[in-house]
């Protein structure tokens, strides 16, 4: 437990600037929305919160790069370092979205005049948020994997590594597009369907239409991409534990 606490404290010291900047962006969005007031601005701020985990992990890894070699020579598994970074990114995203969503709920009460409709509305927003946080783990896993491979290739090939990473990203995206168009992909992902709609009450229709939040999701897709995230994560841990040239 002490090791985990130490890693979280170290991560906080390393990323204070990023966390402070994210807080300022959320505050600025709230102030801007209150002066307009425009729901599309505050809803855009909420959606921005779901991009925090992948960008946080990337920024944190780059900030850690100068110290990572020393970390890897300690008897601590790389998975602890990476789990702390992913966990901090998710925690920051949750706090950010909670603040902006609470502000959105306040606006909805003022505009709809019925707190019960607003609570029902925010319940659906919460369901959407949970789905979005799960989805955000996929690009986080990709960034983690590509960063690790880049450090490996850069140690061996120099500056050409960045071009190879871009090529790998393009190739991987093309392969995934082919897979998504296949019958096999439909079979393994399109099951366990459920829908999220923000139109909880008829009188809230005008308010909801400004947000444009709705969607159909599949538990099968969550499991499929979750397996890919785990694979990316463990490959990255395996490379880092073997003292990738960082």
* Predicted confidence (pLDDT) per residue in 82-128, tens digit: 888 888 888 888 887 777 777 766 766 666 555 555 566 666 667 67
If pLDDT is split at 50, 70 and 90, which confidence band does 62 have? confident
Integer distance in angstroms from the first to the last C-alpha of the chain?
A: 27
**Which has the higher per-residue pLDDT, 209 or 16?**
16
For the cut 70, the answer to whether the pLDDT of residue 235 exceeds it is yes
pLDDT score, position 246: 46
Positive or negative CA dihedral for 54, 57, 62, 65?
negative
Q: Highest-confidence range of 21-25, 38-42, 83-87, by mean pLDDT?
A: 83-87
Sequence-distant (≥ 6) Cβ neighbours of residue 74 within 8 angstroms:
none
Q: What is the rounded CA–CA span in Å between residue 54 and residue 45? A: 16
pLDDT score, position 100: 72
- 3-class state of residue 197 by DSSP: strand
pTM score, two decimals? 0.77
If pLDDT is split at 50, 70 and 90, which confidence band does 11 have? confident
* Axis crossing angle, helix 78-112 with helix 52-72, rounded to the nearest 10: 160
Task: Name the residue among 89, 36, 81, 82 with its Cα closest to residue 210.
Answer: 36
**Which has the higher per-residue pLDDT, 174 or 199?**
174
């Amino acid at each position: 437990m002490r090791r985990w606490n130490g890693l979280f404290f170290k991560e906080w010291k390393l990323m204070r600037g990023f966390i402070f900047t994210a807080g300022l962006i959320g505050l600025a969005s709230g102030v801007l929305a209150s002066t307009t007031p425009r729901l599309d601005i505050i809803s855009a701020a909420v959606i921005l919160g779901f991009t925090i985990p992948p960008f946080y992990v990337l920024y944190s890894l780059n900030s850690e790069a100068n110290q990572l070699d020393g970390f890897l020579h300690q008897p601590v598994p790389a998975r602890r370092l990476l789990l702390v970074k992913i966990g901090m990114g998710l925690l920051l995203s949750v706090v950010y979205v909670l603040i902006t969503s609470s502000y959105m709920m306040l606006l909805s009460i003022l505009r709809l005049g019925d707190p019960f409709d607003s609570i029902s509305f925010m319940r659906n927003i919460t369901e959407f948020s949970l789905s979005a946080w799960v989805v955000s783990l996929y690009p986080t896993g990709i960034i983690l994997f590509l960063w690790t491979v880049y450090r490996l290739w850069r140690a061996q090939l120099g500056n050409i590594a960045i071009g190879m990473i871009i090529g790998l990203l393009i190739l991987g995206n093309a392969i995934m597009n082919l897979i998504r168009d296949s019958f096999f992909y439909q079979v393994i992902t399109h099951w366990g369907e459920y829908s999220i709609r923000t139109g909880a009450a008829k009188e809230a229709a005008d308010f909801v239409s400004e947000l444009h939040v709705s969607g159909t999701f599949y538990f099968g897709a969550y499991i499929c991409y979750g397996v890919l995230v785990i694979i990316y994560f463990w490959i990255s841990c395996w490379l880092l534990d073997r003292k990738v040239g960082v």
